[in-house]
Structures are given as C-alpha cells and as structure tokens.
Amino acid sequence: MTTLTIDSRFRGPPESGNGGYVCGLVATTLQADLKLRLIAPPPLETPLELASQGEGEWVLSSAAGPVARGVAGRLELEVPSPPQYVQAVWASQHYPGFREHIFPECFVCGPHRRRGDGLRIFPGMLDSGLVAAPWLPADDLGGGDGKVAVEFLWAALDCPGYFAVSGGRRPMVLGEMQAHVDRRVHVGEPCTVIGWRLGAEGRRHYAGTAIFDEDGELCARARATWVELK
C-alpha cells in the first residue's frame, strides 16, 4: 500500500485535484499503463491510500471511500496530424476560457494561474475541428533529468479534451482517462497540444488528446470520457 497526497497547487476545481494530474500521479507511482475511472472528487492535502485489488487492478481511497479505480491496459488511439505551432498560437488567442471559465484556477487551463504556477494550456478551435494550444513546460515540471515528469504530461492531456467536446460552454467533469507516453518532452521545449472529439452517448462525451514536440513528433496521447453535469 502507498500513500499519496494531492498538493493544492494541482487543483482543478477549487477543492479537488485536477483529474489528469491525479490519474498521472497514480500511473507514475505504479509505473504502469492504466485506464483510470474517477469515482469521487480527489481531495486536496489529504492522505490517499493506493492499494492493489488483484492482478492489474488498483484503488485510490480517502477515509471517506474510493476516489479512483485503475486497471492495467495499453492505449490504442489513432492521432490526427498536428497543426503548425503558429496555428496553435493563433487558436490559443481565441481560447473560450478567457471570456468565461467554470474553474479559472485550474492547474492545467486556468487563466488565473500565473506562469510557473499553472500549465497555462489554453486550447482554441481550428477550422479542422481540432482544438490546439502551445505549451512551454516550466523548469519545475522536470523529473530530474531535464524532461517533463509523466504526471504533468497526463495533466497536459486532460483539459484540451474538455474544450474539444464542450467548446467551454457546458460544465463537465472528467470521468475516465487512459494515456500513453511515447517519450517525454524536455522542459522549456515549445510543444503543441491538441484535442478532438471522438463521439458521445447521452451525457458522456469522448475525446482524444495528444502532445507533440517542437519537431512535430508525437510524444503522448490520451482518451478520456467527460460527463456532462445535469
């Protein structure tokens, strides 16, 4: 059994952790490819127990009950070609979260987070139907070897999916996420992050996301389920 604690810096909503970061922290801790389902908002500054539930299954729990469940599995996801970096910059200038944002202090996409604090990934829509944003990973996101730590790559793959399926107009929460890191980008490297819609069933919306390095090479990808709030 392992104990994890979500620092308040890594919040999404004001009182809970950013879903992508939390899923990435679990995957990093277990050093495994996982599909994770969020059961309850991950509490901040609270010891959480990560325990095995059998072969290839784990549960993350607080004193109040399960927070997330994970199962081992390798992600299979076709990824569209990325836009040019300058196109991602243009799209980001039209980020809908600048006008209205349900969680303006989100670690990943919150416009109220200063540089060096949040990731400041602001995806905007392109004519292709993709959302895209530039991302320049800060030095403190490194894993000790000059490359971005895996949990922050998961985090960066989170919110662009929301904007791909909602346009920022409908409140949704992350229900499930599965990611695979092909290789880690360097801190300070100009990256492009994209998101695209995969479909919907009722209140469930499916999105793909990906990170590309400065040469346009694919580095990480994810599939997520977003649940529209009633």
Same domain, 113 and 43: no
Please give the distance of CA 126 from its chain centroid, rounded to a whole number: 20
Tell me: do 217 and 149 sit in the same domain.
yes
Q: How far apart are CA 107 and CA 120, in angstroms?
A: 8
Q: What is the pLDDT of residues 32-89, one digit of tens each?
A: 999 999 999 999 999 999 999 988 999 999 999 999 999 999 999 999 999 999 999 9
143-195 pLDDT, tens digit each = 999 999 999 999 999 999 999 999 777 889 999 999 999 999 999 999 999 99
Among residues 100, 131, 134, the alpha carbon closest in space to that of 119 is found at 134
Query: How far, in whole angstroms, is CA 164 from its chain's centroid?
Result: 13
Residues 119 and 156 occupy one common structural domain: yes
The total of structural domains in the chain comes to: 2
- Same domain for 37 and 99: no
CATH of the domain at 61: 3.10.129.10
Bridge partners of 199? 206
User: Could you tell me if 224 and 136 lie in one domain?
Assistant: yes
CA dist 116 and 111 (Å) reads 13
Tokens 């499930």 — which residue?
A: 176
Pairing of strands 124-125, 172-181: unpaired
| Domain carrying residue 115 | 85-228
Residues 52 and 108 in one domain: no
Question: Structure pTM?
Answer: 0.96
Clarify whether residues 163 and 185 are in a common domain: yes
* Residues 67 and 103 both lie in one domain: no
Claim to verify: residue 66 and residue 103 sit in the same structural domain: no
